[in-house]
Amino acid sequence: MEEQNYRSKKVIPYLLLTPTMLILILFLYWPSLQSIYLSFYQQAPFGRKKIFIGLNNYFSLFQNSNYLISIFRSTIFTLITIVLGLFLALILAILLNQDLKGIKFYRVIFFIPYAISATVAGSLWVFILNPVAGQVNYLLDLLFNLQIAWLTNSFFAFLAVIMATIWKNIGFNIIFFLAGLQSIPESIYESARIDGANSLTIFRHITVPLLSPTTFYLVIMNIIFSVFESFGIIDIMTQGGPANSTNILIYKLYREMFINFRPGSAAAQTVVLLILVIIVTILHFKYGNNKVHYQ
Amino acid sequence: MLKKILNKKNYRTIILHLVLISLSLITLMPILFALSISFQPRAQVFSYPPSFLPDQLYFGNFIKAWQVIKLGRIFINSIIASVIVMLGKLILGVLSGYAFSHFKFKYKKLLFFMVLFTLMLPMQVRVVPLFELMSRLGLANSYSGLVLPFLASATTTFLMRQHFLTIPSALMESAQIDGCGPIRFLLQILLPLSGANLAGLAVVNFLVMWNAYLWPLVIINSDEMKLAQQGVKMLFASAAERDWGLIMAGTILIVIPTLIVFLLAQKFFIKGIATQGLKE
């Protein structure tokens, strides 16, 4: 009796895990491995015929100036989004960390854009930037006599997509900066003030260094956001245009597969992104938990 | 002296409120402008200069948007898909989290690592082969194909495990002595202690699916099966010349469920985001 109980208990954890592992292996692991495998083949769209071509998909990818430009463009996009986005979020987090009646209400407001989907965010921004009915252009015209063709000019379209991405993610960044700010003990500020430090010195030499673990985590997360999650924003706002100016890696990959129907090249592009996620995740696990306070 | 300090404090409070109110307005500006235009009739939408407030509350855009992209159908589709994904993730997450928290077994570490490793495999790096796999299984343009890849998740498993770990194993052993088997222990002791966690994960997982775009876009083709976020794209495609009143009215209808769920459960939502590392 007792032995049977023991044996059945041994099987139970595996039974509990079976559905989860089945889904993960079938729909997460297998397709990812398949991406790597397919990247070595040339394949007719959705056809069964495949020809092994070794690394040729990669060679042609990295000889394609369009792809190289897209890598460069994605890097700039990510850098600007992170630097500007985190800077704004930190300032807002400091404001939202003040002891003030109704501060919780303000916090919820700044978090709303993060709850909104990327497609809706894109739709809202296309609208307010449009030249016909958009109020932003009207205000810019009124105040500065500026007429900006936001979505038809390469430079401004790039800028518009960056603004929408920063707007969408600012709530996420604020939440983490707020948590970081609240974990800094008041006594450190007090002793600094007793030593005669002014607000700016305190900010530069206490707040910023003590927030560095949070900042590091947010940089990692924002790389993921701008590389992957911006797909919806771009698909609604610009579809990669005008003249490819907003055609960043994830959008290019989607177009290669579902518009140009080139699965081999799409698989190679997928592997490039996969390598990027793995590097970022390793960085996260390796340095994320260490305190990077006093570099 | 006291009066002076009080005044200085009041002054600071007022300035802070003013700064925060204007920053809130700037943050909400896209939503506010969209709301304003969605209540304007066509003639006002296309008049120059653009109006900041509608002359009267005109509901025609909402009605037209609802009809043009068959929003009723889209909402039902999205609710079904989101509820299935939410339930699937919760059920599988509870089962696998329980396995990792209360049992000792061979390959436990390896299996746990395998679950966590999937955080590195977002939909974007799987979409191409996943689409081919679903096509070969005959599941392209079907709801099974749509929801299956979302049913299990590392974050839900991980968070359920973390929560179950706070419930001591000694409780399980004494329950066992009293003749309570592991499944009854889960259903009658662990789950009743997990209400808040389950609710939080339910909200987050519902919103993740409601807001999902790339996978539905790839796998669902027929208009009558499309989901909420595809509706946004349909709005843009529906009007040859951009009828902003209609597009924004539709966009607002699509975002309303998100906002309701978020505002009702913002505490859970923020906590869920804050404890959840990567999104899927």
Neighbour count for residue A34 (Cβ, 10 Å): 18
Instruction: Give the separation between CA B30 and CA A164, rounded to whole angstroms.
Output: 10
Cβ–Cβ of B270/A111 closer than 8 Å?
yes
Give the dihedral sign, CA A129/A131/A135/A139: positive
CA dihedral angle for residue B214, residue B215, residue B220, residue B225, rounded to 10 degrees: -90
Residue B232: give its domain's CATH number. Answer: 1.10.3720.10
Q: Report the half-sphere exposure of B23 (CA within 13 A, side-chain side).
A: 24
Residues in contact with A143: Cβ distance below 8 Å, sequence separation at least 6, in sequence order: none
Domains in chain B, number: 1
Q: Is B185 inside a domain boundary?
A: yes
Q: Is B204 inside a domain boundary?
A: yes
- In this structure, which CATH number among 3.30.930.10, 1.20.1250.20, 1.10.3720.10, 1.10.287.1080 belongs to the domain A57-287? 1.10.3720.10
Question: What's the whole-model pTM score?
Answer: 0.89
Instruction: Give the separation between CA B44 and CA B53, rounded to whole angstroms.
Output: 10
pLDDT tens profile B38-49: 999 888 888 777
Q: Is B41 inside a domain boundary?
A: no
Report the residue of A4, A15, A91, A123 to disrupt the B interface, i.e. the one with the largest count of B CBs within 10 Å. A123
By C-alpha distance, which of A117, B13, A84 is closest to A92? A84
Q: Name beta bridge partners: A51.
A: A42
Local structure of B211: helix, strand or coil = coil
pLDDT at B274: 59
Local structure of A13: helix, strand or coil = helix
pLDDT tens profile A160-174: 999 999 999 999 999
- In one letter, which amino acid is A187? S
For residue A101, what are its two tokens? 């009646």
Instruction: Give the separation between CA B60 and CA B40, rounded to whole angstroms.
Output: 9
* DSSP annotation string for A208-253: HHHTHHHHHHHHHHHHHIIIIITHHHHHHHTTT-STTTT--HHHHH
Instruction: Give the separation between CA B124 and CA A271, rounded to whole angstroms.
Output: 11
How far is the alpha carbon of B240 from chain A, nearest alpha carbon, in Å? 15
| Res. A52: pLDDT tops 50 | yes
How many inter-chain contacts (A to B, CB under 8 Å) are there?
253
Q: What is the mean predicted confidence (pLDDT) over A49-59?
A: 87
Instruction: Give the separation between CA A250 and CA A234, rounded to whole angstroms.
Output: 10
Cβ contact A149:A134 at 8 Å: no
pLDDT at B216: 95
Q: At what angle do helices B228-238 and B244-264 cross, to 10 degrees?
A: 170
Local structure of A112: helix, strand or coil = helix
- Determine phi and psi for A144, rounding to 5 degrees: -120, 5
CA dihedral angle for residue A234, residue A238, residue A241, residue A242, rounded to 10 degrees: -140
pLDDT at A76: 96
Instruction: Give the separation between CA B77 and CA B69, rounded to whole angstroms.
Output: 13
Local structure of A41: helix, strand or coil = strand
A-proximal residues of B, 104-123, CB under 8 Å:
105, 108, 111, 114-115, 118-122
Cβ–Cβ of B31/A134 closer than 8 Å?
no
How far is the alpha carbon of A256 from chain B, nearest alpha carbon, in Å? 10
Of the pLDDT bands very low, low, confident and very high (cuts 50, 70, 90), residue A3 is: very low
Local structure of B156: helix, strand or coil = helix
Strands (E), chain A: 41-43, 50-52
pLDDT at B184: 87
Q: Does B140 touch chain A (CB under 8 A)?
A: no
**Domain range list for chain A:** 57-287
Which residue from A minimizes the CA distance to B21? A106
pLDDT at B49: 78
Instruction: Give the separation between CA B98 and CA A73, rounded to whole angstroms.
Output: 45
- In one letter, which amino acid is B130? L
End-to-end C-alpha distance for chain B, whole angstroms? 57
By C-alpha distance, which of A120, A6, A195 is closest to B236? A120
Instruction: Give the separation between CA B140 and CA B159, rounded to whole angstroms.
Output: 31
Instruction: Give the separation between CA A147 and CA A140, rounded to whole angstroms.
Output: 7
> Between B20, B103, B258, which is nearest A95 by CB?
B20
Instruction: Give the separation between CA A283 and CA B222, rounded to whole angstroms.
Output: 42
How far is the alpha carbon of B214 from chain A, nearest alpha carbon, in Å? 7
Cβ contact B104:B170 at 8 Å: no
Q: Is B170 inside a domain boundary?
A: yes
Cβ–Cβ of B99/A28 closer than 8 Å?
no
Cβ–Cβ of B210/A117 closer than 8 Å?
yes
**Residues A231, B121, A78: CA angle, nearest 5 degrees:** 40
By C-alpha distance, which of A61, A29, A152 is closest to B116? A29
Q: What is the mean pLDDT of each run of 10 residues along chain B (280 residues)?
A: 67 90 94 93 81 85 92 95 96 96 92 90 88 92 95 90 85 80 87 87 89 94 93 87 89 93 78 50
Cβ contact A167:A113 at 8 Å: yes
Q: Is B22 inside a domain boundary?
A: no
pLDDT tens profile B98-126: 999 988 899 999 999 999 888 888 888 88
Q: Does B235 touch chain A (CB under 8 A)?
A: yes
For residue A66, what are its two tokens? 């369009």
Instruction: Give the separation between CA A16 and CA B183, rounded to whole angstroms.
Output: 10
Give B-chain residues touching A274 at CB under 8 angstroms: 120-121, 125
pLDDT tens profile A88-146: 999 999 999 988 888 989 999 999 999 899 999 999 999 999 887 778 888 888 888 88
ipTM for the predicted complex comes to 0.89
pLDDT tens profile A109-120: 999 999 899 999
For residue A124, what are its two tokens? 């809202």
- In one letter, which amino acid is A68? L
pLDDT at B279: 38
pLDDT at B240: 66
pLDDT tens profile A271-285: 999 999 888 888 887
Across chain A, mean pLDDT equals 87
Q: Is B46 inside a domain boundary?
A: no
pLDDT at B5: 62
Q: What is the mean predicted confidence (pLDDT) over A182-198?
A: 86
How far is the alpha carbon of A195 from chain B, nearest alpha carbon, in Å? 23
Residues in contact with B213: Cβ distance below 8 Å, sequence separation at least 6, in sequence order: A117, A118, A119, A231, A232, A235, B229, B230
Domain range for B74: 63-275
Give A-chain residues touching B173 at CB under 8 angstroms: none
By C-alpha distance, which of B119, B153, B121, B164 is closest to A288? B119
